[in-house]
């Protein structure tokens, strides 16, 4: 069988497949079907310094091309996650990436300070798609200068490797990736959801504005992974519309070291274990001894 363990920031993950932040609750919810130890790494829901209530309903909307969510980053806060859930991941020997966010730069810094290094923590994943209160709601991830500043400042308060998760809602994502790299980020997660809205024609209302994910995001995310992985020499985790093993392979071939699966789990909760199994089969059938051999293979064209 092809080898699928992956070295990431000095830690060995048993495979390169993770859940996307916010799409597997706090990890325990999937237990009746399969366990978090199946994952290469578990990615937490976005956590903040204090618990956050999120947005009013409706929060999820099914679209023809994917799904719109407006959860609004509801979460129990860093302190409670580490007290109530982290011991479960320790017991299961499952590596964790901690996704976090803030509404001000100080909150981002505060989050990074609160999360203490642990051999089970692979990285912090900084969600740069949040509104910046000081700049009148312009997201932190939209301008190269803001990204540079926030990454640089967060890096000074943590020894844990730092991933910047970028929004596609920018003029040029490569420019943002380069700014994050120059500020010292250790890796990138590409991409977050795409801003979207729904109109209810019968009621003549807009029932939900939120982030679009699923199949419609895939080609946007693939392009970001392909171009950013050529531009910066740091690991990239690809996410957006991965529904099956072929999609996962496309991201690895485009230059991603690992992939995350979100919306697909809502359609079929077994998508992640299936992708892991079929990735092994693909490597075998195609005589690849190691998953490393297909990462970025499209760059050789």
Ligand X SMILES: Cc1cc2nc3c(=O)[nH]c(=O)nc-3n(C[C@H](O)[C@H](O)[C@H](O)COP(=O)(O)O)c2cc1C
Which positions touch ligand X (CB under 6 A)?
20-23, 45-46, 67, 69, 71, 73, 99, 127, 165, 192-193, 213-214, 217, 239-242, 261-264
Do the Cβ atoms of 85 and 26 come closer than 8 Å?
yes
Residue nearest to ligand X (CB): 22
The C-alpha R_g of the chain, in whole angstroms, comes to: 18
CB of 33 to ligand X, least distance (A): 18
CB of 140 to ligand X, least distance (A): 12
Nearer CB in complex with ligand X: 47/234:
47
CB of 196 to ligand X, least distance (A): 12
Nearer CB in complex with ligand X: 2/185:
185
Residues 6+ apart with CB under 8 A from 62: none
Nearer CB in complex with ligand X: 239/275:
239
Catalytic annotation present for 65: no
Q: Give all strands (DSSP E) within the chain, no chain letters.
A: 6-8, 11-13, 17-19, 42-43, 60-63, 66-69, 96-100, 121-127, 131-132, 138-139, 162-166, 187-190, 194-200, 205-213, 236-239, 258-261
Buried/exposed code over 153-191 (b: 16+ C-beta within 10 A; e: otherwise): ebbeebebbbbbbbbbbbeebeebbbbbbebebbbbbbb
Nearer CB in complex with ligand X: 109/242:
242
CB of 132 to ligand X, least distance (A): 16
CB of 300 to ligand X, least distance (A): 27
Do the Cβ atoms of 42 and 60 come closer than 8 Å?
no
Quote the CA–CA distance of 102 and 49 in Å, as a whole number: 8
Residue 35 DSSP label: -
Catalytic residue among 41, 65, 111, 130: 130
Nearer CB in complex with ligand X: 2/192:
192
**Catalytic annotation, residues:** 130
């Amino acid at each position: 069988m092809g080898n699928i363990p992956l070295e990431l920031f000095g830690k060995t993950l048993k495979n390169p497949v993770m859940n996307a932040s916010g799409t597997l609750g706090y990890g325990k919810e999937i237990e009746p079907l399969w366990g978090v130890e199946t994952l290469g790494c578990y990615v937490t829901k976005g956590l903040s310094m204090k618990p956050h209530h999120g947005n009013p309903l409706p929060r999820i909307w099914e679209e023809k091309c994917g799904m719109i969510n407006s959860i609004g980053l509801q979460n129990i806060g860093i302190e409670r996650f580490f007290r109530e859930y982290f011991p479960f991941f320790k017991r299961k020997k499952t590596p964790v990436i901690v996704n976090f966010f803030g509404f001000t730069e100080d909150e981002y810094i505060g989050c990074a300070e609160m999360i203490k290094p642990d051999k089970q923590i692979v990285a912090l994943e900084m969600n740069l798609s949040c509104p910046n209160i000081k700049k009148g709601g312009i997201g932190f991830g939209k301008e190269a200068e803001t990204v540079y500043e926030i990454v640089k400042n967060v890096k000074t308060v943590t020894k844990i490797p730092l991933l910047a998760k970028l929004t596609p809602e920018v003029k040029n994502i490569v420019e943002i990736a380069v700014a994050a790299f120059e500020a010292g980020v250790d890796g990138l997660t590409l991409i977050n959801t795409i801003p979207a809205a729904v109109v209810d024609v019968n009621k003549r209302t807009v029932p939900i504005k939120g982030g679009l994910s699923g199949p419609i995001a895939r080609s946007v995310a693939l392009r970001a992974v392909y171009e950013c992985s050529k531009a910066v020499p740091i690991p990239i985790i690809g996410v957006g519309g991965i529904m099956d093993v072929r999609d996962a392979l496309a991201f690895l071939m485009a230059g991603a070291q690992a992939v995350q699966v979100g919306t697909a789990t809502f359609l079929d909760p077994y998508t992640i274990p299936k992708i892991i199994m079929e990735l092994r089969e693909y490597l075998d059938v195609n005589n690849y001894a190691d998953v490393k051999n297909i990462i970025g293979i499209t760059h050789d064209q």
